[in-house]
Amino acid sequence: MLTEKQHQLLTFLIEHQAEHDISPSFDEMRLAVGLASKSGIHRLISGLEERGYIRKLANRARAIEILRHPGAATKPESNIIRPDFGTEQSGSGTIELPLLGRIAAGTPIEALSDPTSYLAVPDTLVSGGEHFALEIVGDSMINAGIHEGDTVIIKRTDQANSGDIVVALVEEHEATLKTLRREPGRIGLEAANPNYETRYFEADQVRIQGRLTGLVRRY
C-alpha cells in the first residue's frame, strides 16, 4: 500500500520516463509532488524501493528502474491516524483497542487506519486516556525488545519527553516508531539497531501522535 505522496511520485516517475527516457532530477521530483526539500524525496524513493516498486541503479546519475506500476486498483492511503478510539470492556479482564494497521520500525511507512479491526489486550496494559494498537514492520527497534510482527500499545498524546518511544508523523505523511531525542533546534528519531542512523528533522517537521505503553507478542 502506498501513501498519497508515494503514489504521486511513482506516477510522475513512470510518466517522465515514458516521455523522456530518463529519470527526472530530484528538483523535478520535488516540484512534481510539492515538497519543500530534497530530503523528503529521498524518503519517498526509499519507501518505493522498500516496497519493490523501483530500484536505484548504482553508480549512475538519475537512474531509477521502474519494477512495477501501482495498478488501477491501488489507492493511496492517508497515514494520519484519526481513529474512533475504543475502550469497551469485554468483561474478562481485557479491553478492546482499535488496531490501526502496520507501522515501520525502520524506513518509515504508512500507518493505516482500520476502524473495523480491534485487538483484545489485558486491561493492565491500558491505564487512563485513549489507546490504540499497531503491528510492527521492520527491525530498527529490535534492541529495545520490539520485533517485527509484535503489536505495540500506544497512548494517544501529542506530548513526549526525550527518551520516550513514540509514534512520530514526519512531514504529515509518514509515520514511524522511534525513540524521541529533543535537541536544540531539531528533533532526532533514534533507532534501537546499529544498522540504522538517527534521523534529524526541524521541529515543525515532526508531530507526535502517541507514546508506547505496552507490547503484545504472539509465539
- For the record, the C-alpha cell of 10 comes out as 511513482
Which of 38, 140, 155, 162 is catalytic? The answer is 140
Model confidence pLDDT, tens digit, residues 129-182 = 888 888 888 888 999 999 988 999 999 999 999 999 999 988 877 888 999 999
Domain check: are 108 and 155 in the same one?
yes
Domain residues for the domain of 185 are: 94-216
Is 102 a domain residue? yes
Quick check: is 5 catalytic?
Answer: no
Q: Are residues 107 and 56 in the same domain?
A: no
pLDDT > 70: percent of the chain: 83
pTM of this structure: 0.59
pLDDT greater than 80 at residue 93: no
Length of the chain: 219
Do 99 and 207 belong to one domain? yes
Choosing from 5, 113, 155, 178, which is the catalytic residue? Answer: 178
In this model, does residue 99 exceed pLDDT 60? yes
Please tell me the distance from the alpha carbon of residue 201 to that of residue 205, in angstroms, as a whole number.
Answer: 6
CATH of the domain at 29: 1.10.10.10
127 belongs to the catalytic site:
no
Q: Is residue 72 part of a domain?
A: no
How open is the CA angle 75-79-82, to the nearest 5 degrees?
115
For the stretch 2-30, pLDDT in tens is 777 888 899 999 998 888 888 898 889 98
**What is the 8-class DSSP label of residue 113?**
-
The three cell numbers locating residue 145: 525488545
Q: What's the per-residue H, E or C state across the chain?
A: CCEHHHHHHHHHHHHHHHHHCCCCCHHHHHHHHCCCCHHHHHHHHHHHHHCCCEEECCCCCCCEEECCCCCCCCCCECCCCCCCCCCCECCCCEEEEEEEEEEECCCCECCCCCCCCEEEEEHHHCCCCCEEEEEEECCCCHHHCCCCCCEEEEEECCCCCCCCEEEEEECCCEEEEEEEEEECCEEEEECCCCCCCCEEECHHHEEEEEEEEEEECCC
183 phi, psi to nearest 5 deg: -130, 160
Is-contact 136 151, C-beta < 8 A? yes
- The residue among 66, 83, 102 that closes a domain is 66
End residue of a domain, out of 66, 82, 113: 66
Contact indicator for 29, 12 with CB cutoff of 8 Å: yes
